[in-house]
Amino acid sequence: MPTEHQIAEHRKAQQAAKEAMAHLAIVIDANDTEQSIARKAHEFLCEAGYQDTWYYQCPALVLLGSRSCVSISGRDYQASTETVGTSNLITIDLSPARSEYWGDYARSLVVEDGKVIMQPKQLEFKNGLHFLQQLHRQMLRLVKPNTTFEQLFEWANVRIRESGFVNLDYRGNVGHSIATSRDQRQFIEARNNATLGDVPFFSFEPFVRLKGGRWGFKHEDIFFFNQDGQLQSL
């Protein structure tokens, strides 16, 4: 279980990411690109005191349009100049860091009529967002400190398949531990028998597409177990 100090410091980083995402949802318009959105995100995080990132040199990984379903490491990511236009899905993954304290927060933002909206009209947008929100709620009720990384991996992938979606992650995993070094992360993947209670924090971030669909959706938060063994999000 993490200390109160660790919880407080990681929560500050995560809150900065949440506020940056809320800001982006307001300022993004049809003329923006992956490059301009990534720049706006980093500028906001810098103003909040988070100039650094733990994820290679990629504080904001932005994918939209023709790259909506692309799964790529921050090590290789290069933002494109494709514009948002009037209808799109923009997935933004933010990774602010201060010292050993990380944030890790991703959302897929729907654009209709040239602006980000919270209640989309298009059915594929509705279904993708709703499925990931539901999956997170179910995960919160299911996972215990003695749940293994592999068990969560298997459960999530069964739910993804049974619900008519495809896991798009290039590693096939659905999240990772929050460590003090990028290379020390443990992934929510097959054959990882460590328990989630063995790590202070972990992210849950399924990246999915409806079978036959056009758009790739991601929804990520950081979680930890409190003193009573209950799972909570930062």
Q: Does residue 215 contact residue 208 with C-beta atoms inside 8 Å?
A: no
Res 170: pLDDT: 86
- Of 54, 63, 62, which Cα lies nearest the Cα of 96? 54
Q: What is the pLDDT of residue 171?
A: 85
Q: Which residues contact 180 (CB under 8 A, 6 or more apart)?
A: 100
Of the candidates 196, 205, 209, 223, the one whose C-alpha atom is nearest the C-alpha of residue 160 is 209
Q: Identify the pLDDT of residue 183.
A: 86
pTM: 0.96
- Report the top-level CATH class of 4-233: alpha beta
Report H helices in 146-205.
149-162
CA distance 23 to 8: 22
Strand partners, 195: 148
The alpha carbons of the chain give a radius of gyration, in whole angstroms, of 17
Tens of pLDDT along the chain (234 residues) come to: 899 999 999 999 999 999 999 999 999 999 999 999 999 999 999 999 999 999 999 999 999 999 999 999 999 999 999 999 999 999 999 999 999 999 999 999 999 999 999 999 999 999 999 999 999 999 999 999 999 999 999 999 999 999 999 999 988 899 999 998 888 999 999 999 999 999 999 999 999 999 999 999 999 999 999 999 999 999
